[in-house]
């Protein structure tokens, strides 16, 4: 069966510091991968999606970037965090439109 | 730009009551999914509907896809506190499964 992992689970970072969130998927090959951000209790904002290694589409211009160095690894990064980057970050893989989410990372920028 | 709207935005009901939440769009979708999310966790897929007019039941939850595949509803019978959560609908555009569009969600609170 497929599983998706995210780490860290929670993170508190000062403004201006770098960021690296990691997502890995097991049990499937060449998945479509996604990064979302969610404000408290609300819907999902698509940040990046990838259909293959080094194939990444950005949906929202901002100070975040994504990379996919391996088939089942997806990384979200920032060189300098802003206060507005705080939120709940979710990674997901999909199959025929159905999305399967990781447990999420709660990021607080102070 | 394809958008999904959900209503109501917030819903607070007593245990045992019935409720319906709605997901609407002006666009046609090849499929539509419903997810439930509990605080601090990722959304969990409840159901996928594909055919216009389709009705699917999952215990006390009934999902319907509109005939024109532009809208959907979720009906919960005899709501329980365990049904509390954020309900999200999401649609796959006709042209591609790559980008799924999410609605803003309905936050449901079932009071014991």
- Identify the pLDDT of residue A29: 87
Count Cβ atoms below 10 Å from residue A60 Cβ, excluding itself: 10
**Within an 8 Å CB–CB cutoff, is residue A99 touching chain B?**
yes
Which one has a higher pLDDT value, B50 or A96?
Answer: B50
Residues of B with Cβ-Cβ distance to A42 under 8 angstroms: 104-105
Minimum distance, in Å, between the CA of residue A11 and any CA atom of chain B: 13
Domains of chain B plus CATH, in order, are 5-107 (2.60.40.10)
- Per-residue model confidence (pLDDT) at position B19: 98
Average pLDDT over residues A74-78: 97
Answer whether A51 sits within 8 Å of B98, measured CB to CB. Answer: yes
Alpha-carbon span A94 to B100, nearest angstrom:
9
Domains of chain A: 3-109 (2.60.40.10)
Contacts with B102 from chain A: Cβ below 8 Å: 43-44, 46
- Torsion-angle region of B83 (φ positive above 0: left; ψ -120 to 50: alpha; else: beta): alpha
- pLDDT the model gives residue A39: 86
In the predicted structure, residue B96 carries a pLDDT above the cut 70: no
Q: Is the pLDDT of residue B76 over 90?
A: yes
Residue whose tokens read 């408290």: A40
Would you say residue A61 has pLDDT above 70? Answer: no
Q: Facing residues of B6 across strands?
A: B23
Question: How much of chain B exceeds pLDDT 90, in percent?
Answer: 81
What pLDDT, on the 0 to 100 scale, is given for residue B105? 95
pLDDT at A60: 80
Distance from the A82 Cα atom to the nearest Cα atom in chain B, whole angstroms:
22
Q: Is the pLDDT of residue A66 over 90?
A: yes
Q: Helix, strand, coil proportions of chain B in percent (round to 5)?
A: 5, 55, 45
Dist. CA B109–CA B16, nearest whole Å: 12
- Say yes or no for a CB contact (<8 Å) between A49 and B99: yes
**Which of A33, A58, A99, A102 to substitute to test the interface with B, most B CBs within 10 Å?**
A99
Residue B95: pLDDT band (50, 70, 90) is low
Name the DSSP class of B100. Answer: P
pLDDT at B98 over 80: no
Calculate mean pLDDT across residues B81-85: 96
pLDDT tier at A92, thresholds 50, 70, 90: very high
């Amino acid at each position: 069966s497929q599983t998706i992992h995210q780490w860290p689970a929670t993170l508190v970072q000062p403004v201006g510091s770098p960021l690296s969130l990691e997502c890995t998927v097991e049990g499937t090959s060449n998945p479509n991968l996604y990064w979302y951000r969610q404000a408290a209790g609300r819907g999902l904002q698509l940040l990046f999606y990838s259909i293959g290694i080094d194939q990444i589409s950005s949906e929202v211009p901002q100070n975040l970037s994504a990379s996919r160095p391996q088939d089942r690894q997806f990384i979200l990064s920032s060189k300098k965090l802003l206060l507005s980057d705080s939120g709940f970050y979710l990674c997901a893989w999909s199959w025929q439109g159905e999305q399967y989410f990781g447990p999420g990372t709660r990021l607080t920028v102070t | 730009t394809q958008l999904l709207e959900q209503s109501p935005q917030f819903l607070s009901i007593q245990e045992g009551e019935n409720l319906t939440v709605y997901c609407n769009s002006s666009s046609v979708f090849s499929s539509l999914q419903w997810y439930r999310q509990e605080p601090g966790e990722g959304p969990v897929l409840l159901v996928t509907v594909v055919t216009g007019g389709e009705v699917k039941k999952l215990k006390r939850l009934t999902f319907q896809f509109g005939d024109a595949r532009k809208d959907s509803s979720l009906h919960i019978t005899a709501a329980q506190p365990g049904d509390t959560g954020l309900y999200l609908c999401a649609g796959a555009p006709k042209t591609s499964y790559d980008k799924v569009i999410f609605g803003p969600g309905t936050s449901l609170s079932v009071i014991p």
